[in-house]
């Protein structure tokens, strides 16, 4: 049985370690896209995470409820088109009175609060807000383009 010479063993392990280091580096990094999305070195950025809860205002008139919800959905669309809102959706029934969530590209909480007052259901008190600074993937901003391509019926 032949033995492996130490130099060959060393070269082998250097090759293995070099291969692993190449795998660890992401050869697909796109600095222009990272800049466009506002990504930091980790591919992340700051957002405002918003939880919509049942508010103090109870609207009994079905026509008024419909009007407020139509305005709410229209406002979501407007904020999304402006690039200020990248995720929105309702929660299922729950004991926490959570109704839905937004993820806003706005980092300043006070600015986000002011922006959300453009929503008629929020302004009327149908929804109450909890706003939390959130750090997440900068690529989240690209999801809406894909979502548009797979949505057959729009609200």
Instruction: Tell me what pLDDT residue 108 has.
Output: 96
Is 16 part of a structural domain of the chain?
no
Q: Residues 88-93: contacts with CB within 8 Å, 24+ apart?
A: none
Is 78 part of a structural domain of the chain?
yes
DSSP notation for 93-116:
S-TT-EEEEEEES---HHHHHHHH
Is 29 part of a structural domain of the chain?
no
- Angstrom CA distances, 86 to 17, 58, 77, 113, stand at 40, 28, 10, 16
State the average pLDDT over residues 96-115: 96
pLDDT tens digits for range 70-81: 999 999 999 999
Is 92 part of a structural domain of the chain?
yes
Q: Which of 4-8, 32-36, 68-72, 89-93 has the lowest mean pLDDT?
A: 4-8
pLDDT tens digits for range 24-41: 555 689 999 999 999 999
Cα(94)–Cα(79) distance, integer angstroms: 26
Of residues 19 and 92, more confidently modeled: 92
Is 15 part of a structural domain of the chain?
no
Structural domain count of the chain: 1
Find where tokens 């009994």 sit.
60
Q: What is the CATH number of the domain that holds 42?
A: 3.30.70.1060
- Angstrom CA distances, 128 to 26, 87, 121, 147, stand at 42, 18, 9, 27
Cα(9)–Cα(18) distance, integer angstroms: 14
What pTM value is reported for the model? Answer: 0.77
CA-atom Rg of the chain in angstroms: 24
Domain that holds residue 79: 36-150
Is 13 part of a structural domain of the chain?
no
Of residues 47 and 19, more confidently modeled: 47
Is the pLDDT assigned to residue 23 strictly greater than 60? no
State the average pLDDT over residues 136-147: 87
Cα(40)–Cα(38) distance, integer angstroms: 7
Instruction: Tell me what pLDDT residue 24 has.
Output: 55
Is 2 part of a structural domain of the chain?
no
Is 67 part of a structural domain of the chain?
yes
């Amino acid at each position: 049985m032949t033995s492996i010479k130490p130099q060959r063993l060393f070269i082998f392990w250097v090759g293995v370690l070099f291969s692993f280091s190449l795998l660890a580096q992401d050869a697909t990094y796109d600095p222009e896209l990272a800049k466009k999305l506002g990504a930091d070195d980790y591919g992340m950025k700051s957002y405002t995470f918003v939880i919509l809860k049942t508010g103090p205002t109870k609207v009994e008139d079905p026509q008024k409820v419909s009007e407020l919800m139509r305005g709410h959905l229209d406002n979501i669309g407007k904020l999304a088109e402006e690039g200020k809102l990248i995720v929105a959706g309702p929660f299922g029934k729950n004991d926490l009175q959570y109704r839905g969530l937004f993820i806003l590209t706005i980092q300043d909480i006070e600015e986000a609060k002011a922006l959300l007052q453009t929503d008629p259901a929020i302004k009327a008190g149908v929804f109450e807000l909890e706003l939390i600074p959130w750090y997440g993937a900068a690529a989240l901003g690209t999801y809406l383009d894909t979502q548009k391509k797979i949505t057959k019926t729009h609200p």
